[in-house]
Structure 1
Amino acid sequence: MLDFHKNHRLLVLTAFTVFLVLSIIIAVIPAYQLQETEPLPNMEALSDQELRGLQVYTAENCVACHTQQVRNIEMDNTWGDRPSMASDYYYSKMRQDVWRQSPSILGSERTGPDLTNVGKRQPGEEWHLLHLYNPRIVVKESIMPSYPWLFEEVSEKDIRKNDLVVPVPSKFLKDKDKKIIASEKAKDLIAYLQSLKQASLTANMKADEFIPASKKKEVTKSDEESNLVDGAQLYMKTCAACHQADGQGLSGAFPPLAGSSIVNDSNPETLIKIILQGYDARAEYGVMAGFAEMLTDEEVAAIANHERSSWGNSAPTVTKDEVKKIRDYIKMLNQ
């Protein structure tokens, strides 16, 4: 019989043994197994700049408000195409240096949105720059803090050749005569955020389903109307962060869509190409990334139609066949 209340040596040895066994089972074995994880075939290693950005990400404690884990529950389908798996973290679990362990990026709070796939959802550099400098510029309701120490305020005559000027609207500047320059840390952090994209799986790989798994049903004629793609909802999810919900854009950063000659053109080819390929408007605005990989033909048509019929715009309807024709033409040119 164990006599713990009298034999203190036995008590300490037993407690230590239990602690050791639990530590091995809960911590050591899973950590060892994690080392055997391989990257997904389509994953790319983080560049030196992206690795520096990861260090800025952890130093600024972004993990306190943002997760990078798509759980296998249906509501998380918003943040990724599939639930996260161990291989997704292969390149971010490396030690930072001799003294620092792998950074913690999973997070446990979603005060802000999950960032697992933010490189696809929000690929534009200008948007991230404005969002870091003052989140309220691009998301009026945002409660995220500003990060002004990642930027420098300089006179226009002091701007150097390689400086990255942030197109901050004048009403958000304390000194209207100053320009905002992104620091190297800001550029590194944005490069890291832009790299956050869920790698696609190969044909012989299968991802876990979201729980409860949505069962696809055959669409009948009576269902067609209720299953139409919602262009307004897609616009709010994909475009409104830059062009704003009212289509007015942001002066010096993102062009307005309300009253735009491109949006209202009877020939929708240019508008469709911009949505698919993106657009370089640095002469007056910034660079927009394309959404060809993210949006289907039907979704592109729905967004274009929402833009062409909102905020006083009035232009003919775009069909998904028109989008497909232009997408195929772009693919042919890029071959």
Structure 2
Amino acid sequence: MSMLDNHKLLFSNAALFFAGLTVLVAIVPALSNQKQNRPLPGAPALSKEARIGKGIYIANGCVACHTQQVRNIDMDKVWGDRPGLAADYAANVRTDFWRNTATLMGTERTGPDLTNVGTRQPGKDWNLVHLFNPRIVVKESVMPAYPWLFERKKDPAESDVVVNVPAAYLNGDEKIVATKDALYLLAYLQSLKQAALPQNTAVPEFLYKKEKKAAAGEGTAATVDGQALYAANCQSCHQENGEGLPGAFPALKGSPVVTGEDLEKYVDIIMNGYDAREEYGVMPPVGTNMNFTENEVAAIIDHERTSWGNQGKKVAPEDVKKIIDLLKLKTSE
């Protein structure tokens, strides 16, 4: 009897063929990749809070607008120190038995890539304000607000995390308080950092590089664009006009730190952050996180001291380097 005349035999053979093909094409290569690609030695596992936050990230559709993949092309260099590797995703596991969503690489960048956002923008206060209403910190943002991740209270408890939202977004004397879901999502965002490659491992190069005009940190301070560095690293909090956000982030326009003579304090704030003002959130160590050179720090200071009506003195990169070295020495003691 021909197999084509026996539907049971036909479908049984088709099923066996499909199962065998699945093993050869999908399962065996997956097991091989899993064996060959291990997580990088310095890659930390997600904390319990970050794992919950990953679920909230998925539930709110963040992956629709944000990627987590630094491609090996030069235009992606702003999102990470190196192109992504298979090892960067090796530690990802299924969300649960029914859902895969192991990696959240995404396919569209309506918003910026988040591969290294835990290093690029680690600040708790900025992230919470941004989730509450992105237009507060970035006027041009098309990201939706997530007000359901927050509560409005007139008398927050001591254990509540109060978000420093400008008064214009508040009703009377109420306060904005982050819910547990907001804090879980924050923990996940702060966990997104590119792990360092093992020592003596060659770093993959970014392809299709444009002709270099003045790479950040190279050459003299005059060749480094302080305005561009400010826009990329400082503007989201202190704003383009240098006026900050009242009740959230301090102004640099007319700031005594910016226009004053205490250069060591100024450089220390840029490199190591600042947490000495109850009315404002904690500033993260932007300079250390981004590996600023003395030329970059000097260029940012010069831009801030000569913008928005400020009339501070410009600084020499060699003086900045002495302070950076001194700060490193103090930290190591």
**TM-score normalised over the length of structure 1:** 0.88
Task: Tell me: CA distance 1:4–1:211, structure 2 relative to 1, closer, same or farther (3 Å).
Answer: farther
Task: Tell me: CA distance 1:54–1:237, structure 2 relative to 1, closer, same or farther (3 Å).
Answer: same
Determine if contact 1:168/1:252 at 8 Å carries over to the other structure: yes
Distance in 2, matches of 1:161 and 1:226, equals 46
Determine if contact 1:58/1:104 at 8 Å carries over to the other structure: no
Give the match's secondary structure for 2:296.
helix
More helix by share: 2
| TM-superposed deviation, 1:317 | 1.2
Which residue pairs with 1:44 in the alignment? 44
Distance in 2, matches of 1:11 and 1:318, equals 81
Determine whether 1:206 maps to 2:202. Answer: yes
Aligned residue runs from structure 1 range 1-335, under 5 A: 16=15, 19-20=18-19, 22-36=21-35, 37-91=37-91, 93-156=92-155, 159-173=156-170, 175-212=171-208, 228-290=223-285, 291-294=287-290, 295-335=292-332
Give the match's secondary structure for 2:183.
helix
CA RMSD of aligned residues (A): 2.7
The one-letter amino acid paired with 2:184 is D
| TM-superposed deviation, 1:197 | 1.1
1:233-262 alpha-carbon deviations (Å, 9 max, x no partner): 000000000000110000111000000000
Determine if contact 1:63/1:104 at 8 Å carries over to the other structure: no
| TM-superposed deviation, 1:289 | 0.5
The one-letter amino acid paired with 1:256 is A
Distance in 2, matches of 1:218 and 1:148, equals 42
Determine if contact 2:149/2:182 at 8 Å carries over to the other structure: yes
Determine if contact 1:69/1:114 at 8 Å carries over to the other structure: yes
Distance in 2, matches of 1:200 and 1:285, equals 32
The one-letter amino acid paired with 1:31 is A
Task: Tell me: CA distance 1:215–1:40, structure 2 relative to 1, closer, same or farther (3 Å).
Answer: farther
Query: Larger deviation: 255-264 or 277-286?
Result: 277-286
Distance in 2, matches of 1:309 and 1:179, equals 36
Structure 2: gaps (5+ residues): none
Give the match's secondary structure for 1:40.
coil
| TM-superposed deviation, 1:182 | 0.1
Determine if contact 1:65/1:109 at 8 Å carries over to the other structure: yes
Determine if contact 1:167/1:253 at 8 Å carries over to the other structure: yes
* Percent of aligned pairs sharing the same letter: 50
Determine if contact 1:66/1:111 at 8 Å carries over to the other structure: yes
Determine if contact 1:130/1:137 at 8 Å carries over to the other structure: yes
The one-letter amino acid paired with 2:106 is G
Give the match's secondary structure for 2:50.
helix
Query: Larger deviation: 114-123 or 36-45?
Result: 36-45
Distance in 2, matches of 1:86 and 1:303, equals 36
The one-letter amino acid paired with 1:258 is K
Give the match's secondary structure for 1:153.
strand
Determine if contact 1:153/1:179 at 8 Å carries over to the other structure: yes
Determine if contact 1:53/1:189 at 8 Å carries over to the other structure: yes
Count of matched residue pairs: 326
Distance in 2, matches of 1:69 and 1:202, equals 20
Determine if contact 2:243/2:252 at 8 Å carries over to the other structure: yes
